[in-house]
Structure 1
Amino acid sequence: MKTNLLLFFRSLTNFDEKDVFKSTQGRLTRIYSGLLILFLIIFIMIVYSVLYFSILRNQETELETLVNQEAGFLEDYLTTNEKSDFRGIQNQEVVFAGANQLFYYVVNSNGELIMGNEADQRTRSAILGILNGKVLDDGDILKETIHLEGSEKGRGKPGEFFQRRPERDITLMIASESIYDNGRFVGKLFIGKDISFAYQLFHWLLIILLVIGIVFVGVALLISAAMSKKAMIPISRAFTRQREFVADASHELRTPLSVLLSSLDAIDMTIDTKEEEFAGKLLSNMRQEVKRMTSLVSDLLTLARSDSNIIERRTETFDFLPHAEKAIESVQPLADSKQIRLHLEAPDSLMATGDSQRLSQLLYILLDNAIKYTPGNGEVWLLLTREGNELCMKVKDTGKGIKKEDQVHIFERFYRVDKSRSRQMGGHGLGLSIAKWIVETHKGTINISSELGKGTIFTIVIPINPL
């Protein structure tokens, strides 16, 4: 019965409301916001990619259509005017105009530039350099970027003025088409479009999408926090009901256990255990189990109170040394039974502010724990000092020590390093959880340092005047 009850209470109390709820809500917030942000990133990538490729493809289609039409126009021009090549043709006779068209060049079969024109005269040398260095087949699209130096305002031929042109980079899209006269190759037409505006559009589009993304990240975090908080409501309610049940059950169990212990004492007084050895042994075992259950219920009630957001702690100024001496005296019989030597090192007076009963309970838990896990003929020290405005306590033993992987769990409820020895040690795995709670209610810290085969040291630091 005791084992089943212990497992039941363990399932209800084996977590800390503040830490678990906060970490769980934070984890949910991160998951929700992560999913929303991932969706946003995918959405931005899809939108940007679709616009990027659709706009560029549209420009390529327009350029391919234009170069095919103009190549056909040149072939018709040769046929109509009964010419075998482009010699004698002037730029004025053939004028190509397309949206954002930067240049057109016509090259004869010998690779010589016969005619052409460009929107900006500064581009000719750069474009010809590109065309001479690249082999562009019919249907291919070439994208290149050229840099134009700035030009000052000046006068050319009579009546002509050149406006100042700024330094800039131009992104070109170039297409070509061969020209034939009755099946004979006579030249090649090159047409280039300025698509700098498209890349500027992509640049600003990316900035806009990033700004929208940043704003959406903030919104996603707010939405995720609200969703996680809402998701925690039923969990919080269930925990509150379980916590209330643990507190009520622990409180109600104290009375029948006290009555049962008193009844066992009364029965023990009415029989002669020397004559009835079997009955005496049964009474001793029953008394021991009742005391264990009473201790467990008391610990559960303490933890149930610790789980509530109300801190039940008295604040008083007192000399801590007498309480330490009393704690040593309380555990002395247990130490004597294992021939363990207890040592107390402390100043003559040690004033502190806090709950004297809780701090005494803290010492008893740590000393009891040290004695239980120290083999016979070992030693246990209680070291008390005052450093500045802090009360420092150290409980040191010569026990077998605690493994590194176990040290992070020893303050968890019902956790035991050596589960096979739990019953003979007499503990329930709640003592260190209660100790940590007492330290935290005093706004202090508790740390462990342990080495296998050499022992363990618990170090507690508590402000003498906690706020």
Structure 2
Amino acid sequence: MLITLIYGFIVSLVYNNFISQAHLLAMEEVEELNYIVSDGKLLPDLPLDNNSSQKYLNKIFYYMYDKNDQLLKMSNKIDWSKTDIETLTTQDLLQDGQYEMHIVFTAQKEFRFFVITRESIWNNGQYAGKVYAGFDISHDLMLLGRLLLWITLLLLCTLFVINKAANFMANKAMKPVVESFEKQVLFAANASHELRTPLSVLLSGLDILKDDADNKMSAFSKEIIGDMTGEILKMKALISNMLLLARCDNSAAGLKKNRVWLNIILKNTAARFQTITADKNIALSVIDDVPDLYGWVDRNHLEQIISILIDNAVKYTPRNGKIFLRAHCHNGMSAISVSNTGPGIGEKDLPYVFDRFYRSSEAKKYEGSGLGLSIAKALAEKNNGMLIVQSEENIRTIFTLYLSQKD
């Protein structure tokens, strides 16, 4: 911004200098025209005294007219400007003291520039003639153009250096954060992996106790063992989910993308939930609008995402409710929608439904860890897909998975 302001200041100075020079030149020629009008004869041209005078005369031009618009005297050694200047003087569009800059495209396929102004003379209150004067400003504008080019190159180089320096400093500043995050991910993965073995041992031990015919346990003890088994199974599922999320974070989750027919996956996955939905008297329907629709995705990941979405829908759909599964196209992408009737998701909770362990006050009435939707979103993004949610409170909720049809 500072360089731009400096350049603008320079351009303003140069422009004002153009105007001042044109005004001074016009005033000089007005004095000569006034002498011609008063004396009735032309002044002789003075001999040139040096090369600088020659260069100056080759740069300026002037045209003197009497009150009848008859040309009295002129000097113009700028060949490319004559036609345009004569057009301007003939049309007489300039007012006294008014300035204009003009651009000319010459026969040599070059651009040239000149500034022109007009001044009138008055003799005893009567209009006596006018002067058009100006000079070639091509050289000055070319210098400004080169200056602009160099400033632009300087700015680009500066931005490049700043960008490199900023990236270096940002990477240096973010390195501890990245390392800390990677350590947390590694810890979650290792801890989850290590916890699965003792939980499996505990679960096996409880199964042995429960099946041991010689072990005479009371009904209360059996109930306690059943509760412990249920809690261990929940803990094992939670740890498996945490391990899966940790693998998604560090890109360790295996990915084998293929062309997968979506309606087949939908129907097969829905079939596994028929018993659960029948117990709650929920109507589970698969809408087969586009039978040949496919997506480029990991089949196991897709089945897991759909299972999570259906399980979530079953959990929050009241008895006698409805769940609809549908595969369709949207803006060149394959899409799978899972919608259900029910309480819906509150507007204030909607932005956080995919956050890990987030559970709204309404969701806390149901069992769950708050990781299912996080896993579904992570798997969708790992397959270059997108998972979004729409909800109307007390009407319905729709989760839509978008998948690419190309690898």
Q: TM-score normalized by structure 1?
A: 0.55
Which residue identity is paired with 1:422?
A: A
Q: Where does 1:277-426 land on structure 2 (aligned, <5 Å)?
A: 291-312=233-254, 324=269, 327-328=272-273, 332=276, 336=279, 339-341=280-282, 343=284, 361-380=304-323, 395-402=338-345, 410-416=353-359, 419-426=360-367
Q: Match for residue 396 of structure 2?
A: 455
CA–CA distance in structure 1, aligned partners of residues 150 and 72 of structure 2: 44
- C-alpha displacement of 1:254: 3.5
- C-alpha displacement of 1:313: 5.6
CA–CA distance in structure 1, aligned partners of residues 320 and 105 of structure 2: 93
Which residue identity is paired with 2:100?
A: E
Contact 2:257 / 2:296 at 8 angstroms: preserved in 1?
yes
Contact 1:448 / 1:459 at 8 angstroms: preserved in 2?
yes
Structure 1 residue corresponding to 2:12, chosen from 49, 53, 57:
53
- Matched pairs, number: 375
Q: Match for residue 3 of structure 2?
A: 43
Q: How well do the aligned residues superpose, as a CA RMSD in angstroms?
A: 6.1
Structure 2 residue corresponding to 1:143, chosen from 82, 92, 99:
99
- C-alpha displacement of 1:55: 2.2
Distance 1:264 1:422, change over 3 A: farther
Question: Which stretch of the first structure deviates more once superposed, 420-429 or 452-461?
Answer: 452-461
Residue 92 of structure 1 pairs with residue 44 of structure 2: yes
CA–CA distance in structure 1, aligned partners of residues 200 and 265 of structure 2: 31
Q: Match for residue 60 of structure 2?
A: 101
- C-alpha displacement of 1:427: 1.5
Identity over aligned residues, as a percent?
25
Which residue identity is paired with 1:375?
A: P
Contact 1:321 / 1:346 at 8 angstroms: preserved in 2?
no
Which residue identity is paired with 1:455?
A: R
- C-alpha displacement of 1:306: 1.5
Contact 1:102 / 1:194 at 8 angstroms: preserved in 2?
yes
Q: Partner of 2:100: helix, strand, or coil?
A: strand
Q: Deviations over 1:93-141 (max 9, x none)?
A: 678975522116497xx8998954321676568447649x6344xxxxx
Contact 1:126 / 1:146 at 8 angstroms: preserved in 2?
no
Contact 2:25 / 2:134 at 8 angstroms: preserved in 1?
no
CA–CA distance in structure 1, aligned partners of residues 283 and 127 of structure 2: 111
CA–CA distance in structure 1, aligned partners of residues 118 and 380 of structure 2: 79
Distance 1:87 1:428, change over 3 A: same
- C-alpha displacement of 1:420: 0.7
Which residue identity is paired with 2:43?
A: N
Q: Where does 1:16-95 land on structure 2 (aligned, <5 Å)?
A: 39=1, 43-44=3-4, 46-47=6-7, 49-63=8-22, 86-92=38-44
- C-alpha displacement of 1:246: 1.6
Q: Partner of 2:44: helix, strand, or coil?
A: helix
Q: Match for residue 374 of structure 2?
A: 433
- C-alpha displacement of 1:294: 3.6
Q: Deviations over 1:205-225 (max 9, x none)?
A: 488369748966995797489
CA–CA distance in structure 1, aligned partners of residues 118 and 404 of structure 2: 81
Distance 1:87 1:359, change over 3 A: closer
Q: TM-score normalized by structure 2?
A: 0.61
Q: Match for residue 248 of structure 1?
A: 190
Which residue identity is paired with 1:398?
A: T
